[in-house]
């Protein structure tokens, strides 16, 4: 079972692999340093995301970001968003570790709400939101792969 450092290393390796495949194999234009930082950050965030259901570095990051978003929602008087964020903040505390949050369908579908909402409310940011989602998803899937039971048996 990797620590958050192991999951961050897995997320970094996943980012490097995706970056190499997209630029060398699919011949996409080279990204700017800003795009590289942005996509790497989302891949690393995704790599620690499944551990929000336990006291961990991932949970600390999750609640820090959630607090910033909640304060922003209060300042903007977005009460509907605030109520949704309040429900989201309680969810990780109600589930078992390596339960629902450690499933492929959860790490795929739960974050999907964000680019969908951005696409609907701010179409000009849609492409950026989808790119962030894909790198976040890749990082989250790397976390699940590192936690996969057969790998743990092989390492023993």
User: Do 59 and 47 meet the contact criterion of CB atoms below 8 Å apart?
Assistant: no
Q: What percent of the chain has pLDDT over 70?
A: 94
Is residue 73 very low, low, confident or very high in pLDDT (cuts 50, 70, 90)? confident
Residue 149 has pLDDT above 80, yes or no: no
Q: For the chain, how far is it from start to end, CA to CA, in angstroms?
A: 11
Residue 151 has pLDDT above 70, yes or no: no
Encoded tokens for 117: 């909402």
Give the pLDDT mean for 59-88: 88
DSSP 1: -
Look at 5-9, 24-28, 137-141 and tell me which has the smallest mean pLDDT.
24-28
């Amino acid at each position: 079972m990797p620590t958050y450092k192991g999951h961050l290393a897995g997320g970094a390796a996943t980012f490097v692999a995706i970056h190499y495949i997209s630029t060398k194999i699919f011949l996409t234009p080279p990204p700017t340093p800003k795009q590289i930082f942005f996509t790497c950050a989302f891949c690393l965030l995704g790599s620690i995301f499944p551990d929000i259901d336990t006291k961990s570095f991932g949970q600390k990051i999750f609640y820090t970001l959630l607090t910033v978003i909640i304060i922003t929602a209060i300042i903007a008087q977005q009460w509907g968003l605030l109520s949704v964020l309040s429900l989201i903040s309680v969810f990780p505390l109600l589930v078992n570790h390596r339960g629902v949050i450690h499933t492929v369908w959860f790490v795929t579908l739960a974050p999907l709400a964000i680019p969908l909402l951005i696409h609907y409310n701010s179409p000009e940011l849609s492409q950026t939101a989808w790119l962030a989602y894909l790198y976040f998803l890749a990082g989250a899937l790397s976390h699940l792969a590192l936690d996969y039971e057969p790998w743990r048996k092989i390492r023993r």
